[in-house]
């Protein structure tokens, strides 16, 4: 049963992570010019992430018999495990983007933020 828990969490988390990366790429290609479109895409992204987490948790809970049950703690643990895997996928995407594609822009944004913080202090 424990092996099934981690396998299902891996499947769900990977799919959620890949969908999240897809939305991140879509957001990046839209750019900052179209704020209304960005708001719609961000809302849609959040809604789809919640629905995917709900669907995968519901699918996993359906595999438990009524005698054994599916406790709140088990469900919460499953969602946390899925989000760990999704976070790994998103972190991998962020690291690749920062290292190879947007390194200079990221460094410039950090420098600007540090300059603003120095002005505040």
CB under 8 Å to 93, separation ≥6 — which residues? 21, 24
What pLDDT is recorded for position 92? 94
What pLDDT is recorded for position 3? 76
Q: How far apart are the C-alpha atoms of 100 and 84, rounded to whole Å?
A: 24
From 65, 84, 77, select the one nearest 14 (Cα to Cα).
84
Residues in the chain with pLDDT values less than 50: none
Instruction: State whether residue 1 is helix, strand or coil.
Output: coil
Residue identified by tokens 């669907």 is: 55
What pLDDT is recorded for position 20? 95
At 16, list the tokens: 């959620």
pTM of the model: 0.80
Q: CA 94, 96, 100, 101 torsion: positive or negative? A: negative
What pLDDT is recorded for position 121? 66
From 81, 31, 32, 29, select the one nearest 57 (Cα to Cα).
81
Q: How far apart are the C-alpha atoms of 51 and 110, rounded to whole Å?
A: 34
């Amino acid at each position: 049963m424990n092996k099934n828990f981690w396998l299902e969490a891996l499947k769900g988390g990977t799919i959620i992570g890949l969908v999240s990366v897809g939305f991140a790429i879509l957001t990046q290609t839209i750019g900052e010019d179209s704020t209304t479109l960005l708001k719609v895409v961000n809302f849609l992204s959040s809604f789809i992430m919640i629905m995917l987490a709900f669907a995968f948790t519901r699918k996993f809970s359906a595999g438990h018999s009524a005698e054994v049950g599916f406790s709140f703690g088990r469900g919460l643990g499953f969602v946390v495990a899925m989000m760990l895997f999704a976070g790994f996928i998103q972190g991998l995407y962020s690291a690749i983007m920062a290292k190879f594609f947007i390194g200079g822009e990221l460094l410039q944004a950090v420098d600007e933020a540090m300059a603003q913080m120095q002005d505040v202090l």
